[in-house]
Structure 1
Amino acid sequence: MSEDRAPTLGDLADWLSAALGERRPVLRPSSGPIHTLALALEPHDVPPELSADALFLHRSRGVGERWPGIGIGLLAVHDGFDRHLTTGPNLRLAAKLGWQDVQLVEWERASGLLATPPETTWDALHAALRAELGGEDAALAPESAARPRVALMNAMRPELLQRAAAQGVSVYLTGQLRPSAVKAAQALGLGVVALGHRRSELWGLRQLARELEAAFPGVRTQVLGQR
Structure 2
Amino acid sequence: MPVLNDLLTWLNARLNAAELVRPGPEQVQRLALALDSADLPPELKADALFLHRAFRLGDQFSGLGVLASHDGFDAELTTGANTTLARHLGWTHIERLHWQGKVLGLKATPPERDWNALIHALYTEFGGLEGHIEPVRPAVSSVALINAMRPDLLTFLAGQGVNACITGQLRPAAVPRARELGLGIAALGHRRSELWGLRQLARELQGQFPELHTRVYGEA
TM-superposed deviation, 1:102: 0.8
Q: Secondary structure at the match of 1:180?
A: helix
* Pick aligned residue for 2:4 from 4, 9, 16: 9
Amino acid at match of 1:182: V
Structure 2 letter corresponding to 1:162? T
1:147 maps to: 140
Distance 2:30 2:125 in 1: 26
Q: After TM superposition, what 4+ stretches of structure 1 lie above 6 angstroms from structure 2?
A: none
The alignment status of 1:64 with 2:64, answered yes or no, reads no
Moved more, 180-189 or 142-151: 142-151
Are positions 1:107 and 2:99 aligned together?
yes
CA contact (8 A) 1:110 1:153 kept: no
Cα distance per residue 1:16-50 (max 9 Å; x no partner): 01111115x21111233211110000111111100
**Residue of 74, 96, 106 corresponding to 1:82:** 74
Q: Would the aligned equivalents of 1:110 and 1:155 in 2 still touch at CA under 8 Å? A: no
Per mean C-alpha deviation after superposition, the further-off stretch among 211-220 and 136-145 is 136-145
In the alignment, which of 161, 165, 168 is matched to residue 172 of structure 1? 165
For normalisation by structure 1, the TM-score amounts to 0.93
Q: Quick one: distance in 2 between partners of 1:226 and 1:147?
A: 31
Deviation of 1:110 (Å)? 6.2
Q: Structure 1: give runs of 5+ residues left out of the alignment.
A: 1-5
Identity, in percent, stands at 53
- Alpha-carbon offset, residue 148 of structure 1: 3.4
Shift of 1:214: 0.5
State the SS of the aligned residue for 1:152: strand
Change in Cα spacing, 1:219 to 1:203, as seen in structure 2 (3 Å) is: same
Q: Aligned Cα RMSD in Å?
A: 1.2
In structure 2, the residue corresponding to 1:10 is in which secondary structure?
helix
Structure 2 distance, partners of 1:146, 1:192, is 13
Q: Which residue identity is paired with 2:156?
A: R
Instruction: Say whether the 8 Å CA contact 2:25–2:48 is kept in structure 1.
Output: no
In 2, Cα distance between equivalents of 1:12 and 1:59: 17
**1:226 paired to 2:219:** yes
1:39 aligns with 2:50: no
Q: CA deviation at 1:222?
A: 0.5
Instruction: Count matched residues.
Output: 219
Contact 2:91 2:110 in 1 (8 A): yes
Q: For 1:78 and 1:52, how far apart are their aligned partners in 2?
A: 21
Q: Which amino acid aligns with 2:185?
A: V
Contact 1:122/1:148 (8 A) holds in 2:
no
Candidates 98, 113, 121, aligned match of 1:120:
113
C-alpha distance in 2, partners of 1:22/1:116? 28
Task: Determine the C-alpha separation between the residues in 1 that align with 2:150 and 2:13.
Answer: 31
Q: Could you state the TM-score of these two structures normalised by the residue count of structure 2?
A: 0.96
The separation in 2 between residues aligned to 1:185 and 1:164, in whole angstroms, is 10
Q: Secondary structure at the match of 1:41?
A: strand
- 2:16 corresponds to which residue? 21
